[in-house]
A and B are shown apart, each in its own frame.
Chain A
Amino acid sequence: GAVVSQHPSRVICKSGTSVKIECRSLDFQATTMFWYRQFPKQSLMLMATSNEGSKATYEQGVEKDKFLINHASLTLSTLTVTSAHPEDSSFYICSASGKWDTQYFGPGTRLTVL
């Protein structure tokens, strides 16, 4: 099956700093990648759709200047949480789209902002 990796798996940072999360599709090329946020015991909430070579499409209510997305190649998308605050603490998950719109998910990144 398709493999998607995320790095780092866990990150703790101070309030006001920026954090970059990488998402890589390891064995296939992904024109489209997605970024989700998940709160404890809840389902996934789509934040944005990342398209290779173009600007990301953000969901309503997601601040594009706070959550910067870059999809520079067919195998790499990055999410940068800028000026992080404690309320940004969450589980961030990326996915890459394959056949039949099936999405293959990374293992997630636990962000804790102190």
Chain B
Amino acid sequence: TQLLEQSPQFLSIQEGENLTVYCNSSSVFSSLQWYRQEPGEGPVLLVTVVTGGEVKKLKRLTFQFGDARKDSSLHITAAQTGDTGLYLCAGATGTASKLTFGTGTRLQVTL
């Protein structure tokens, strides 16, 4: 069974702080997605990374795919209250397009 471990599981910070969420596995993925989910809603896609070592920036969010395509990180600069939510990484192995979801990181940003 493939596992994607996210850390930390829960993070509570104040607005303006920086943070990094990690997504680690022993398996190699053909692509990796990051999603953010708010209570009572479906996950919303933030980014897809495909190439080992790839770095993508989305405003204050920076995503990195590990060189070996086994891990990824999400860095948020100057967090805002609107960043609050459940962050999920998900890896694809190319088999029937199935995704393996990470354990999730719940982020709370307060004023």
Stretch of A36-44, A68-76, A81-89 contacting B (4+ beta carbons < 8 Å):
A36-44
The reply on A78 being an interface residue by CB < 8 A is: no
A48 to chain B, nearest CB (A): 10
Residues of B within 8 A of A108 (CB): 40-42
A40 to chain B, nearest CB (A): 9
Contact B96 A32 (CB under 8 A): yes
Q: How large is the interface on B (under 10, 10 to 19, 20 to 34, 35 or more residues)?
A: 20 to 34
Known: A93-B43, A103-B33, A107-B42. A43 touches B101 (CB 8 A): yes
B93 to chain A, nearest CB (A): 8
Closest to A32 in B: B97
The reply on A57 being an interface residue by CB < 8 A is: yes
Contact A49 B98 (CB under 8 A): yes
Residues of A within 8 A of B97 (CB): 32, 49, 97, 101, 103
Question: Given the complex of chains A and B, what is the CA–CA distance between A44 and B106 in angstroms?
Answer: 14
A104 to chain B, nearest CB (A): 6
Known: A1-B45, A108-B40. A102 touches B98 (CB 8 A): no
B38 to chain A, nearest CB (A): 10
Contact B33 A102 (CB under 8 A): yes
Known: A41-B106, A46-B98, A105-B35. A100 touches B41 (CB 8 A): no
The reply on A64 being an interface residue by CB < 8 A is: no
Closest to B6 in A: A43
The reply on B94 being an interface residue by CB < 8 A is: yes
The interface bits of chain A over 93-114 (1 if a CB of B lies within 8 angstroms of the residue's CB, else 0) are 1010100111111111010000
Question: Given the complex of chains A and B, what is the CA–CA distance between A102 and B106 in angstroms?
Answer: 22
Residues of B within 8 A of A34 (CB): 98-99
